[in-house]
Amino acid sequence: MTALRIAPMNSTIVRSVIVPVVVRGYFRTVSRLLPGLAVRHAERLFTRPPRRVPRRAPPVPARREQVTAAHHELAVWQAGPPQAPAVLLVHGWGGRAVQMGGFVEPLLARGFRVVWFDLPGHGESGSGPVALPDLVRALDGVAATHGPFAAAVGHSLGAAALVLALRRGFGLGRVVLLSPPASMGEHARNFARLLGITPRVREAMRRRLEARYGWRFADIDRTEELAAVGVPALFVHDESDAVVPFDHSLRLAAALPAARTLRTWGLGHFRILGDPGVVRAVADFVSGREAEVPAELPALPVPAPLY
């Protein structure tokens, strides 16, 4: 049989992706007739980030550098006084560092040095298969050359990488987590349902990934370990997020002793990064002014319900 060439798709955040009927039909058929081939193709989709975000100039004049983390070469930018306390910005799956650009100037204005980078396999940081363990190792690599970090702001899978890094002792003074997914195992099940993959193929893919990266999905999902993390955390998540449901932030925040949640309305998974109210709240929290961070933005959904 001729192997099907599968176009890249956002395979880690799957809820908002409309999978072509032909792809689902392919996986349903091959999962049963040629499960080994289905496992290899599913694994490829699971670990290949899409490259949809266009290349743009940095949000401010910045120093571009190269950092080696494990076997990845990472493109890193920084701006601000070299001796100022540093804040790390971490984008999500299939994104680029420039997506976090809205936070740069407000943080610079508050006296921080800001560091942002393309995750491995994204943007100017090369290509090839990557997974959550690669993202955590990239955080370690950037911290070794550009840290220590007073704070970090992460979005989506970048936020999940920060959560896992904190559990492993990553040093931060405080952290902001925007729309973070809470479970790798849950994602794998959603991924399999989306593509029409059988449970047998899904589990074979999981075992291959665990053998490749040396990290078990069950260990990644041990969110109860967050009870030992004392870092102040702000979760920002939209009630109508169609990519990562709002309850993921509630589950993670419940496990962190020093966590608070900012619920937004009508911003979804991506517009949350550029909303002025969110940007201001994040900058306030990073600056230690958490008393000024609201619980909701706006105070009521727009349009507000009629009582």
At position 128, the amino acid (one-letter code) is G
Please list, in sequence order, all residues whose beta carbon lies within 8 angstroms of the beta carbon of residue 50, skipping any fewer than 6 positions away. 8, 9, 10, 11, 94
Tens-digit pLDDT profile for residues 200-223? 999 999 999 999 999 999 999 999
Strands (E), the chain: 63-69, 72-79, 86-90, 113-117, 149-155, 172-178, 233-238, 259-264, 296-297
Return the exposure string of 147-160: e unless at least 16 CB atoms fall within 10 Å of the residue's CB, then b.
bebbbbbbbbbbbb
Return the exposure string of 242-263: e unless at least 16 CB atoms fall within 10 Å of the residue's CB, then b.
ebbbbebbeebbebbeebebbb
Tens-digit pLDDT profile for residues 33-84? 999 999 999 999 999 998 777 777 888 999 999 999 988 999 999 999 999 9
In the prediction, which pLDDT does 244 show?
93
Distance between CA atoms of residues 154 and 267, nearest Å: 17
pLDDT band at 16 (very low <50, low <70, confident <90, very high): very low
pLDDT over 90 for what percent of the chain?
76
Reduced to 3 states (helix: H, G, I; strand: E, B; else coil), residue 74 is strand
Tell me the C-alpha to C-alpha distance, in Å, between residue 258 and each of 186, 235, 255, 283.
25, 11, 9, 18
pLDDT band at 19 (very low <50, low <70, confident <90, very high): low
Q: Which residues pair with 149 in a beta bridge?
A: 86, 172
Average pLDDT, the chain: 90
Domains contained in the chain, CATH given: 1-48+184-220 (no CATH), 63-181+225-297 (3.40.50.1820)
The H or E element that residue 277 is part of is helix 276-286
In the prediction, which pLDDT does 114 show?
98
Tell which wins on pLDDT, 229 or 19: 229
In the prediction, which pLDDT does 70 show?
84
Tens-digit pLDDT profile for residues 120-177? 999 999 988 999 999 999 999 999 999 999 999 999 999 999 999 999 999 999 999 9
- pTM confidence score: 0.89
DSSP at 123: T
State the SS3 of 234-270.
EEEEECCCCCCCCHHHHHHHHHCCCEEEEEECCCCCC
Reduced to 3 states (helix: H, G, I; strand: E, B; else coil), residue 302 is coil
